[in-house]
Amino acid sequence: MASAAAPQISDRDRNLALAIEHHMAGRLDAAEKLYHSLHVQNSRDGEVLFLLGVLCCDLGLFDSACHFLYATIDLQPAHTEAKDQLIIALNGQAELQEEAGQIVEAEQSLRRALSLAPNDARTLRSLGRLMLATGHAAAAEEYLWNSLTQASGIGFNWLGLAQLQQGKFAAATQSLRQALAMDPELNQARHNLGLALLYQGQLAEAMHTFEQALARDPGYTSARINLANTLRILGRHLEARRHLEQVLEQQPDSIEALNNLGTVLQDQGSAQEALTCLGRAVELAPNQAEIRWNLALTQLLLGDYKRGWANFESRWEACTSLRSAYRHPQAAAWRGETLQGKQLLLWAERGFGDSLQFIRFAQQAAKLRAEIIVEAQPELAELLRSAPGVSQVVARGEELPPYDLHCPLMSLPHLLGIEIKDLSGEIPYLSADPIRTEQWAERLANFSGQKIGLAWVGSSRRQNPELAVIDARRSIPLQLIAPLLFIDGISFFSLQKGEAAAEIGAAGLTDTLHDFSAEWQDFSDTAAFIMNLDLVIGVDTAVAHLAGALGKPVWLLNRHDGCWRWLLERPDSPFYPTLRQFRQESAGDWKSVIEEVMHELAIT
């Protein structure tokens, strides 16, 4: 009986088997030639199209891979493996597009992948990461959260980053702790956890976390820089400086290290060195607003007002909280053009002290033949109506009258070209209500001796850990001020309100530090009270600006690393001719400052 004929293997199958063998053995060039040969013979061979797509993925040719895999699915819509491979190809394509700066195209590729598999963890994570990089933190958080159906340390790390960018620091802390629980070797998550703790003001734990990241990887530059920043906030400037200099030894042009070192040097009082550091950083990154703003603060501290005011304009881009507080963006901003016959709206942008200090420049703007309208904090509105050159003051939140141009109050020095020599204008430039002043005069007539007002605490900006630490450094504990209260021949009055005023009773000082603050509704009341004092003694807070603007003698008790507006090593202030500075000789040394004040009071 004749045997059955052996099955005939076609040339196509033989070549395809050989191509697959080459492919599996890693001989990708040989496999590619055979696959393409087969594709030329039959462009609608679904198996060949699929294998070409897989091969192109292996070669990193993701555009070609997508082409072949889409063709496969067109021929065989139920081809599950082709869809899975296409998701891989689209993710790879998106990664290359992102690297090339083709952000829109990268997002489109990822969204195509997501349409094939809405719950694919890799695609969700990649899309979340892309949203994070482009500033869409809320969308990023949603994608990254959904990606955690396949939980991983890196997934929780990216989720934590998205939450960090939105200011959700507690949630970020939780996500990043979870990332480290799942993958203790994920040092990036450890660094990001340090940031989350830093932003919440948990400085000691943030410092420890950055130190742990560095222990695992001493070359982790971002961790070292952020450790230095944490140490600076804690007042440990020498350690912070050492870490930053270590970074710069290895990376002399590290913009972030130069910027942070400049800030440390300024805090230490080495303003010229800070200027060199920050100037170099600006050369390397002229468009980074945060660096230019830090440079501005150093230039202003050194009295270089021409350059300083110009660079100070970068504050809107440098600081998120300021950027969100920019008012009237829909209206035309004054850029220095003629104001003749125009109505110019000046608006308060920051704290009470800033408004009190900078309202002086309204008069010079009015001399340009503009009608000046001021939008002020409600607590200042009545008092600022006394400022020369001001036609109208509107409390923030009230309806504004028509105006042609607007300008933030603290931009006036730049636009007006103000230098130090221009500050010796009319003092006082604010005045208290005469009727209320006389009423307080009658009430204070029974107090004997000199009448001195005290302000020992600045407002606390608790939402920002760095500013909160500065607020603590500029404030003096009441028990350190207390010895002043027992100097013979002086009656002392509190100029504090709120929590600080409540300290008086708790300290048992109600008989020696008299407090009428509960009767003051706004700054016009405080001004009328101050007009009946012989002297104001206070820390760097709005009260010092108010007394200076009223032309009253004021002694400023200034911290060692004082604010730029008080300049360096000056016993006076060009802003306020009646102001005298008593500055800490070293950081935290209020004792010597109080002793000097006591001595001066004894001889006056």
Domain of 373, CATH number, reads 3.40.50
366 and 458 assigned to the same domain:
no
- Contact between residue 174 and residue 145 where contact means Cβ atoms under 8 Å apart: no
Give the mean pLDDT of 165-186.
Answer: 91
- Going by pLDDT thresholds of 50, 70 and 90, the confidence category of residue 5 is very low
In a domain, 404, yes or no: yes
Give the mean pLDDT of 8-15.
Answer: 70
- Cβ neighbours of 408 (radius 10 Å): 24
> What is d(CA 239, CA 227) in angstroms, rounded to the nearest whole number?
9
pLDDT score at 4: 46
pLDDT averaged over the chain?
90
- Where does a domain end: 402, 423, 444? 423
417 and 460 assigned to the same domain:
no
- Contact between residue 415 and residue 362 where contact means Cβ atoms under 8 Å apart: no
In a domain, 47, yes or no: yes
492 and 412 assigned to the same domain:
no
182 and 210 assigned to the same domain:
yes
Polymer length of the chain: 604
CA-closest candidate to residue 180, choices 155, 143, 211, 200: 155
174 and 93 assigned to the same domain:
yes
410 and 469 assigned to the same domain:
no
In a domain, 566, yes or no: yes
401 and 531 assigned to the same domain:
no
In a domain, 273, yes or no: no
**Is 22 a residue whose pLDDT tops 80?**
no
Q: Measure Cα distances from 40 to 33, 56, 63 in Å.
A: 11, 16, 19
- Where does a domain end: 423, 458, 482? 423
In a domain, 4, yes or no: no
31 and 136 assigned to the same domain:
yes
- Number of H helices and E strands in the chain, helices first, is 31, 10
- Going by pLDDT thresholds of 50, 70 and 90, the confidence category of residue 519 is very high
pLDDT tens-digit map of 252-304: 999 999 999 999 999 888 999 999 999 999 999 999 999 999 999 999 999 99
In a domain, 44, yes or no: yes
pLDDT score at 6: 46
Region of residue 92 (left: phi > 0; alpha: psi -120 to 50; beta: else): alpha
459 and 416 assigned to the same domain:
no
> What is d(CA 591, CA 494) in angstroms, rounded to the nearest whole number?
20
Residue 455 pairs with which residues in a beta bridge?
A: 538
**Higher per-residue confidence, 37 vs 534:** 534
In a domain, 599, yes or no: yes
CA-closest candidate to residue 154, choices 186, 124, 184: 186
Looking at the structure of the chain, the number of domains it has is: 3
Give the mean pLDDT of 161-168.
Answer: 83
> What is d(CA 546, CA 432) in angstroms, rounded to the nearest whole number?
10
Q: What is the pTM of this model?
A: 0.79
**Is 96 a residue whose pLDDT tops 60?**
yes
Q: Measure Cα distances from 162 to 136, 141, 157, 207, 331 in Å.
A: 9, 5, 9, 22, 33
In a domain, 319, yes or no: no
447 and 587 assigned to the same domain:
yes
pLDDT score at 41: 82
- Where does a domain end: 196, 227, 254? 254
CATH number, domain of 585, equals: 3.40.50.2000
131 and 196 assigned to the same domain:
yes
Q: Which domain holds residue 401?
A: 328-423
95 and 223 assigned to the same domain:
yes
CATH number, domain of 139, equals: 1.25.40.10
